[in-house]
Homo-oligomer: A and B are copies of this chain.
Amino acid sequence: MTQLEMACKGKLSPQMEQAAEHENIPAENLRLLIERGVAVLPVNVKTPSLVRDFRPLAIGEGLLTKVNANIGTSRDFCDVDYELEKLSTALAAGTDSVMDLSTSGDIGEIRRKIRGNCPVMLGTVPIYEAVCRLMEEGREIGDMTPEELFAIIEGHGEEGVDFITVHCGVTQKSIENIGDRLTGVVSRGGAFLIEWMRANKKDNPLFTRFDILLDIARKYDMTLSLGDGLRPGSIADATDIPQIAELSVLGDLVKRSRSAGVQVMVEGPGHIPLHQVEANVVLEKRICDGAPFYVLGPLVTDVAPGYDHITSAIGGALAAWAGADFLCYVTPAEHLGLPLVEDVHIGVVSARIAGHAADIARGIPAADQWDAKMSSARYNFDWKAQAELAIDMDIIHKVRERCPLEDEQTCSMCSRLCAMKVARGKGK
């Protein structure tokens, strides 16, 4: 049985218990959220046997905002050990989830290595592997048979992938107006499917044969993450007709997934200006019946390559406050290249900042207690406690040792003119 089927039968799974403990809520509350489909608990039935100390987490309504880190090889930059280093970096930085988006090398082998070393939920985009295999064989994207694609998806199920991105909403109908766009299609998976549809003059097999996908997903309890293949790649394309057309398709597929006992969440944009972020969340929640919303960014401006961890922290905070449940990190390397280990680190930290800021704003119980503890340590000049409480535990020491300090309690910003001391009559 999937977590959804168990929830619908009133049964509490061990994973529900663990995930509820993480949220500090009764397991029964979490079960109700999963039953309604407004929360998912992505854990492949194979995962517990493949990973030591796997930490199940739920994603959805009223729960702590979760953060995902994308790793994986590309053709220009293919080093498996380096990807494993990114994995451990992302985990150390506190990611709640990892997606392996490898598109080069022995993708199966890379995924198995990542899975074995990844105690948090793991996601993939199976069509990447399908297309890469075609390339290796000298075949075109249009040559892919639906059977090949489903076989790969089944393989991901066998190997303990907890959730998969499937761009089922990229259909002949939803792409009708993409010619009006400034930046066309910026989703790799979406682009592959469009190329396939063009070559075969047929509709997207992930849409036309959605029931096959549901069968596989149910078998392994792989959560479907319905991809936004038509997400806007620029502010100019935000919240446009193709994006909404795709979302409408996804809303229908959410209902079909739930009826089949398959856990499902929905992916969202992308490049969205600040004033459209909330509307995008409201729209997804309305059209997709409250399904957990997994956003990539959103990036609130296009002009800051090299700083898209910041543009997306702004958008992510706002989105999560409005109800988005799961933030995919964006690193400083976005739009420029494959991220390095240091990009992974700052990407996770930035997304966690956005998520936590939103958790405070949403009134998630005790979220702001973390801040109160930190501020109390700050007010008491307890640098050890500050380092332990900081979202990045190493950084305080690094910055403080940059110059000799006159007073060990204060910092080089104000030295003995520290306001917190002066105002208490302790400074001079």
Contacts and interface: CB of A to CB of B under 8 A. Distances in A.
A106 B174 CA distance: 67
A234 B375 contact: yes
A271 B382 CA distance: 19
Copies, count: 2
A337 B187 contact: no
Nearest to A350: B310
A241 interface: no
Contacts of A128: 417
A422 interface: yes
Contacts of A392: 304, 306-307
Interface in A241-284: 271, 273-275
A311 interface: yes
A114 interface: no
B337 A412 contact: yes
Interface stretch (A55-63, A74-82, A147-155, A213-221): A74-82
A337 B411 contact: yes
Contacts of A304: 349, 353, 390-392
A191 to B, nearest CB: 4
Contacts of A391: 303-304, 307
A9 interface: no
Interface string A291-318: 0000000001111111101110110011
A355 to B, nearest CB: 10
